[in-house]
Amino acid sequence: MHDIAVLGATGSIGGSTLDVIARHPGRFRATVLTAHRQVEALVDLCAKHRPELAVIADPALEGELARRLTAAGVRCEVASGHAALTAAASGQLCDTVVAAIVGAAGLESTLAAARAGKRLLLANKESIVMAGPLLLEAVATGKGALIPVDSEHNAIFQCLPGGRPELARSGVRRLVLTASGGPFRGRTRAELAGITPDQACKHPNWVMGRKISVDSATLMNKGLEVIEAHHLFAAPAEVIEVVVHPQSLIHSMVEYVDGSVLAQLGNPDMRTAIAHALAWPERIESGVPSLDLARCAPLQFEPPDLTTFRCLALAFQALRAGGDAPAILNAANEVAVEAFLGGALPFLSIADVVEAVLAELPAQAVVDVGTLCERDRMAREAARRVLRDAC
């Protein structure tokens, strides 16, 4: 029996994870559920999954959470705040942690789970983008396991022998990350000038949280994933390639030196990657229907348009710059996306903000989490200044 902490339980990945867990009551148990501010949604999940602990990140909402749980007849421990999140991720109530908080807010709990030797199922890509070397070190120190949930990385993990070997020694030539191209594939810059948040969040193939949906529309999501792949698989930037594949049926590929290309295919439903990561190295049912290739449209592939979708080029630039440049990129992007979602920044200016902040804060070596968080703070401040100046 595995005891699982679902960090970010009220989100899209959190919901898919709980769906898979509920299909295997004899095998998995959701013992910890957390949310940011969605008290009602968290109470509903607690009523259904009966965890031992519910954590709300916003301390102002702890009392309300406790009251509502009692009113709903749910008996479980209640805690709040970031320290409680970290404690839950590293504590005795779980052996497995699904890191599904969105953004840099997930970094500390992800690191805590890794240090504590948990089996860490990583959806929160921002934490590995920000702190790749520190996270891998924490996994090594904790002697736990790190299993990627992001569908592309989960696909590559499945196509590599033993999941995460030394690429050169395994005869790997290239990692090919597929990208759907997002809702604006094929559009020109001029056509993207007046894009609204709702248009950007309407992804053709995946239903996801709003931040990652915007990242998918700008292709920053693919940029973050390139950096994620670099860390997870110790792959230099030169061996990572992005190809646009609008059907999202091939989740990514690995090319070997003999010319073999291994791909992982499936319907675009995150429950496949989540079920794989939960059960690895075994296989379990996920609830995802069989892929009916005969009914699929022809599979298309094309190179990404780096002129229109500049965020992907900026992510490659940050990866090549090294050090904490990816953390600076991520922080500036989080601020810019929030401003876009709030109607305060045009879609195309997201890349401008990221570019300006990268130029203002040249890369420094990643020393420790404290320094990294300070650089994250500086990048956010710089991004807000760029936003103010632009308005």
Residue 270 beta carbon to Mg ion: minimum distance, rounded to whole angstroms = 9
Find out whether 125 is annotated in a ligand binding site.
yes
Q: Which of 53, 123, 147, 379 binds ligand NAD (CB under 6 A)?
A: 123
6 binds, among Mg ion, ligand NAD, none (CB under 5 to 8 A by kind): none
Say whether residue 150 binds Mg ion (CB under 5 A): yes
101 binds ligand NAD, rule: CB under 6 A:
yes
Peptide bond into 281 cis (omega under 30): yes
- Residue number of the CB closest to Mg ion reads 150
**According to the binding rule CB under 6 A, does residue 51 interact with ligand NAD?**
no
Judged by beta carbon, residue 151 or residue 333, the one nearer Mg ion is 151
Q: How far apart are CA 21 and CA 29, in angstroms?
A: 7
Only segment of 179-187, 207-215, 236-244, 317-325 that touches ligand NAD (CB under 6 A): 207-215
Q: Does 13 bind ligand NAD (CB under 6 A)?
A: yes
Check residue 345 for interaction with ligand NAD (CB under 6 A).
no
Specify the pairing of strand 145-148 against strand 96-99.
unpaired
Determine, following the binding rule CB under 6 A, whether residue 163 of this chain makes contact with ligand NAD.
Answer: no
Residue 132 binds to ligand NAD (criterion: CB under 6 A): no
Nearest distance from residue 216's CB to ligand NAD, in Å?
Answer: 9
Residues that bind ligand NAD (CB under 6 A): 8-14, 35-36, 38, 57, 100-102, 105, 123-126, 150, 206, 208-209, 211-212, 270
